[in-house]
Amino acid sequence: MNLNNPKIKVPATGWERFFNLLSVMIIIASIVYAIYQFDNLPDRIPTHFNAQGKADGWGNKSSLFILPAITTATFLMMYFLNKVPHIFNLPVTITEKNASRIYRLARTMMAVFNFEIVLILSYATYETVQAAHGYSTLGLWFILFSIFVPLVTMILFFIPMNRET
């Protein structure tokens, strides 16, 4: 966290608003899906999976709501953190001259990260229901996707941040 960066107001970009709206819609859909599926679930459902996608942790069916709760809390924390881009730890030196451009990129990047996290956790909610019904789910590909997609996003945003304009 760098508190010496210039503190300027940067309005949300169109992409930032788009990804935030999409995230909220997915969170709502995930919660509605969990509520809809609740009565159809067995009393004991998987709550954790190993790298092969096999359930290795179990809980009562109410634990299905833990993932949507974590998703919502994470989204809200990142949403409000995104309002103060001057505290982000970015790979470039922030000056008065480049602050507006860098902060816009950083805010959009954070909104995309937030969307990716919402998507990953919401998908995990869906797959938990599927696993509770006996379908195989969440293997190594899910772990790799969860690591590499945000990593690629970060790289794609850091490249234009490092360009001089």
- List the one residue out of 119, 52, 112 whose CA is nearest residue 82: 112
Residue ranges for the chain with pLDDT beneath 50 = none
Say what the pTM is: 0.88
Q: Please give the pLDDT value at position 121.
A: 95
pLDDT of residue 134: 87
The helix, strand and coil proportions of the chain, stated in percent and rounded to the nearest 5, come to 65, 5, 30
Contact in structure between 146 and 120 (CB atoms under 8 Å): yes
Q: What is the spatial distance between Cα 118 and Cα 72, in angstroms, rounded to a whole number?
A: 8
Which pLDDT value is given to residue 52?
Answer: 79
| pLDDT score of 162 | 86
Residues 71-97: tens digit of each pLDDT: 999 999 999 999 999 999 898 999 999
Task: Supply the pLDDT for residue 11.
Answer: 92
Q: At 150, is the secondary structure helix, strand, or coil?
A: helix
Task: Specify the residue for token string 């459902």.
Answer: 45
CB-count burial class (<10 Å; 0-12, 13-18, 19+) for 85: buried
